[in-house]
């Protein structure tokens, strides 16, 4: 008798704790949804294609506070400001080039993670290929010289034999 009462009690308490736990989880979920909707509310509404453009542009723009990161990767205040600015400009109908142009006008080309191909970036864009070419040429010449040396000694050996 006593044992079944005890069992009932523990079942009830377990049930209540379970309900309470679920309620807490539900509240947390609702709170997260509310937070996300508040965050979205402060951003201009963009279509799906515009949303994709905003993300792509965000990946190409350097964070001015944490220079090794794009504005999408950074949590700095300025990165947040620039993300908002990109979205606002897209909502206003600006093209990607216009947004890039505006930012490079204010911050210089350094703000673009993909620098434009122009005279002062020639070395940056084509330098690695030039080094690869020169290195390849060096390796080719070295291998050729080695080959020549070997045939020369082989010929000497066969002459002696």
Which parts of this chain interact with other proteins (CB under 8 A)? 64-65, 67, 76-78, 80-82, 84-85, 88, 103, 106-108, 110-111, 134, 138, 141
Give CA–CA dist 20/125, Å, rounded: 61
Q: Which residue has the tokens 């066969």?
A: 158
- For other proteins, the closer of residues 53 and 103 by Cβ is 103
* Beta carbon nearer to other proteins, 24 or 78: 78
Comparing CB distances to other proteins, the nearer of 32 and 130 is: 130
- In angstroms, give the least distance from the CB of 64 to other proteins: 4
Q: Rounded distance, CA 55 to CA 47, Å? A: 12
Least distance (Å) between residue 131 CB and other proteins: 9
Count of H-run helices and E-run strands, the chain? 5, 0
Distance CA 91, CA 96 (A): 12
Q: How far is the CB of 34 from other proteins (least distance, A)?
A: 22
CB of 86 to other proteins, least distance (A): 10
Residue 65 Cβ, how far from other proteins at the closest point, in Å?
Answer: 5
Give the dihedral of Cα atoms 86, 90, 96, 99; nearest 10 deg. Answer: -50
Q: Cα separation of 65 and 59, whole Å?
A: 15
Q: Which is nearer to other proteins, 31 or 125 (CB)?
A: 125
Between 18 and 135, CB nearer to other proteins: 135
Angle of helix 48-60 relative to helix 77-91, nearest 10 degrees, comes to 140
CA dist 86 and 100 (Å) reads 9
């Amino acid at each position: 008798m006593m044992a079944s009462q005890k069992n009932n009690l523990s079942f009830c308490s377990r049930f209540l704790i379970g309900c309470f736990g679920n309620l807490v989880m539900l509240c947390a979920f609702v709170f997260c949804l509310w937070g996300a909707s508040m965050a979205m509310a402060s951003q201009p509404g963009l279509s799906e294609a515009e949303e994709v453009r905003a993300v792509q542009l965000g990946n190409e723009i350097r964070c001015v506070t944490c220079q090794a990161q794009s504005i999408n990767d950074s949590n700095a205040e300025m990165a947040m400001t620039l993300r908002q600015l990109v979205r606002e400009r897209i909502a206003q109908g600006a093209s990607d080039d216009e947004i890039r142009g505006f930012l490079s006008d204010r911050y210089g080309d350094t703000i673009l993670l993909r620098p434009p191909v122009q005279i002062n970036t020639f070395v940056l864009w084509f330098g690695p290929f030039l080094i690869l070419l020169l290195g390849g040429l060096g390796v080719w010449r070295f291998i050729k010289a080695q080959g020549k040396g070997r045939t020369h000694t082989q010929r000497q050996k066969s002459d002696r034999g």
